Amino acid sequence: MSNYIVSPDKQSNEQGSVLKLTPESAGWEYIGFEVLKLTPGQKVRQETEDQEVVVVLVSGKANVTTKEKAFENIGERMSVFERKPAYSVYLPPRDFFEIEATTEAEIAVCKAPGKGTYEARLIGPEDVEVAKRGSGSMQREIHNILPEDKPADSLFVIEVFTPEGNWSSYPPHKHDENKLPQETYLEETYYHKNNHPEKGFAIQRLYTDDLSLNENLTVKDGEVVIVPKGYHPVSAPPGYDLYYMNVMAGPVRTWKFTDDKDHEWLKK
């Protein structure tokens, strides 16, 4: 198993967690990511501490309560491959969230350092910008849950749907250096799901210009790929539609990237 893949547990623990990544376990500074799988009526609660948090209803429905707000029976899609925009809840540091599942539910908990600038809020489907990116076999659909133009201290959260046979995060790009205005340092995770979870897969490459990092990863449903640096394109093999959730964070909340010069001609 590659050091850049985090696999889920086969069964959830008493808090519903099937996968948990922390800055310490990832060997970086900013991003934490957790996946919860809850049964109807199951409740979990977490303190945000010094983190800002986005709770994403990947599938299913739930009640989400914070220190000052309550969002009842949110969620709509029962599978990400319905391709409906998600319901999410943004939380500041020094808050808490309690989730009560009203159906079977899969929840992503995205974390990064926060300053407490913004209050808790619901991010509904109507708040999610949906756009096509790329062309031909590079085309994919982007759901911007928390993009750069929406208020947050550190986090970016984006869902991407890549059709079978297409490439995504392509042409390859990187964001691992602080050299504004050309590029910003942003850690990134990819949470993968496949429309054939028992047998489907995706291919993700991680590499740097000097090839000191040069990994070709076979990624299965429910796995997370850690991207600490380098270029990171993804391929969805024929027959297997791909979903992934991107979480990014770094010292400056701006997404500036550098294309791999060998492949940037594809944009033309």
Mean pLDDT value of segment 36-65: 98
Confidence of residue 70 (pLDDT cuts 50, 70, 90): very high
Q: Which residues contact 179 (CB under 8 A, 6 or more apart)?
A: none
**Residues 241-262, mean pLDDT to the nearest whole number:** 97
**pLDDT value at residue 162:** 98
Asked if 58 and 110 touch (Cβ cutoff 8 Å), the reply is no
Interval 13-26 mean pLDDT:
94
**Calpha distance 215→236 (Å, rounded):** 17
264 three-state secondary structure: helix
Strand partners, 56: 88, 108
Tell me: the pLDDT tens digits for 146-173? Answer: 999 999 999 999 999 999 999 999 999 9
Identify the burial level of 91 via C-beta atoms within 10 angstroms of its C-beta, where 0-12 means exposed, 13-18 middle and 19 or more buried: buried
Determine the pLDDT at residue 134.
94
Q: Which residue has the higher pLDDT, 161 or 2?
A: 161
57-73 mean pLDDT: 97
By the 8 A CB rule, do 243 and 141 touch? no
pLDDT above 90 covers what percent of the chain?
A: 96
The pLDDT score that the predictor gives to residue 95 is 98
Q: How confident is the model at residue 1 (pLDDT cuts 50, 70, 90)?
A: low
Q: For the chain, give the percent of residues with pLDDT over 70.
A: 100
pLDDT tens digits, residue range 75-134?
999 999 999 999 999 999 999 999 999 999 999 999 999 999 999 999 999 999 999 999
